[in-house]
């Protein structure tokens, strides 16, 4: 089994650290190689469904892709917060919906090649409108039906891979029947 | 619409660049904020199915997560290579299977928050064993049925989110009926 013989922070940003690891035994007994990975806080996403089967999504400008995107309510887990608390906070802040019950669909690796954090995927069919949220720091909430999201995916307009992974888990766990 | 008024490479690794962008108008008319994103080469993944409905996967040690993972054959697009050429090369190198036909399911953003590259998702039901591949630099090919992969997902042992996104697209496009 490979062995990590050295690990240090090479560069820090307010949102993630760039870690450099020296690993032995990756491609042979006497090899030593250097790997770079990103360490952000854990990430949470929720597929939530209202009583009349609408899904709250958020539209926002994303500097990384230099374009707007439509996505599931998501965010990072803050210090002194559980993933459950984080996703309830994000859902409320971004969409005005309060989750009365949430369910963990599973946790995933957002990128086994480069990221060391985890993605916590949640589902809720018990949400209630708590506040009207307009444009909250550039994040605009919108409601879509599941078939509407499917159309967006078909057109390539709902294309955040980490969101699509949540749909796979939701189908796997029998929460939605998205692709029928 | 927000505007990127400055962009430069803050740090380089052999696999990706760390980009710093200054963006105006993100959370109000007169605001200016700094964002960090990662720019790797484009990434390709393939869900391929043999004539007897087995899916070639690869098992390998991943320094980012400090553990082994089981994943779809994947990799980065090299210079002077199309995404189609890249995925055929990766499939052959990692599993010994040659794809006679491939189909693009769609392209996704691997991480709208932090990554500026694209994920190209491919499907093939026309693959042929071309070479026996053993342990190729620590990458070990394995064959699974779709229900076997479903069991791995259920247990959390097939947990690369970018791979799960490929399954959502494959279902959406009617290529597999994974979750029934």
Domain boundaries along the sequence of chain B: 3-40, 43-172
In which band, very low, low, confident or very high, does the pLDDT at A110 lie, cut at 50, 70 and 90? very high
Q: What is the residue-averaged pLDDT of chain B?
A: 94
pLDDT of residue B180: 55
User: Among A63, A113, A179, whose Cβ lies nearest the Cβ of B62?
Assistant: A113
Q: Which residue of A has its CA nearest to B33?
A: A63
In this prediction, residue A165 carries a pLDDT of: 98
Does residue B44 carry a pLDDT above 70? yes
Average pLDDT over residues A148-163: 97
Lowest mean pLDDT among A91-95, B65-69, B133-137: B133-137
CB contact under 8 A, A18 and B21: no
Cβ-based burial of B10 (10 A; exposed 0-12, middle 13-18, buried ≥19)? middle
Lowest mean pLDDT among A41-50, B1-10, B105-114: B1-10
Superfamily for domain range B43-172: Nucleoside Triphosphate Pyrophosphohydrolase (3.90.79.10)
pLDDT in tens, B17-42: 999 999 998 877 788 999 999 999 99
pLDDT for A30: 83
Is the distance from CB of A91 to CB of A46 less than 8 angstroms?
yes
Mean pLDDT of A94-116: 97
Assess whether pLDDT exceeds 80 at residue B96: yes
Distance of CA B5 to the CA centre of its chain: 31
Does the beta-carbon distance from A111 to B161 stay under 8 Å? Answer: yes
Q: Are A40 and A19 in contact (CB under 8 A)?
A: no
Residues B176 and B144: beta-carbon distance below 8 Å: no
Interchain pair A172, B160: CB under 8 A: no
Compute the distance between CA of residue B102 and CA of residue B87 in angstroms, rounded to an integer: 9
Average pLDDT over residues B91-116: 97
For A26-62, how does the pLDDT look when each residue is reduced to its tens digit (9 = 90+)? 877 788 999 999 999 999 999 999 999 999 999 999 9
pLDDT tops 80 at residue A138 = yes
Position B121 scores a pLDDT of 98
Q: Is A112 in Cβ contact with B62 (below 8 Å)?
A: yes
ipTM of the complex as predicted: 0.95
Q: Which of B18, B115, B178 sits opposite A18 (nearest CB)?
A: B18
From chain B, pick out residues whose CB is under 8 angstroms from the CB of A13.
18, 36
Secondary structure letter of residue B94 according to DSSP: H
The distance of Cα B8 from the centroid of its chain, to the nearest Å, equals: 26
Give the alpha-carbon dihedral of B35, B80, B161, A38, to 10 degrees. -40
Q: How far apart are CA A142 and CA A156, in angstroms?
A: 17
């Amino acid at each position: 089994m490979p062995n990590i013989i050295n690990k240090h922070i090479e560069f820090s940003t307010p949102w993630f650290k760039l870690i450099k690891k020296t690993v032995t035994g990756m491609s042979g007994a006497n090899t030593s190689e250097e790997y770079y990975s990103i360490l952000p806080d854990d990430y949470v996403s929720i597929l939530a469904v209202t009583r009349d089967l609408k899904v709250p999504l958020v539209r926002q400008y994303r500097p990384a892709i230099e374009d707007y995107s439509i996505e599931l309510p998501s965010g990072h887990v803050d210090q002194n917060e559980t993933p459950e608390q984080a996703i309830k906070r994000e859902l409320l802040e971004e969409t005005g919906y309060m989750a009365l019950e949430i369910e963990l669909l599973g946790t995933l690796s957002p990128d086994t090649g480069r990221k060391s954090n985890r993605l916590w995927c949640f589902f809720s069919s018990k949400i209630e409108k708590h506040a009207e949220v307009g444009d909250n720091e550039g994040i605009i909430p919108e409601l879509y039906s599941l078939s509407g999201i499917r159309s967006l995916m078909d057109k390539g307009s709902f294309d955040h891979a980490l969101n699509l992974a949540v749909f796979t888990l939701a189908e796997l766990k029998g929460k939605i029947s998205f692709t029928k």
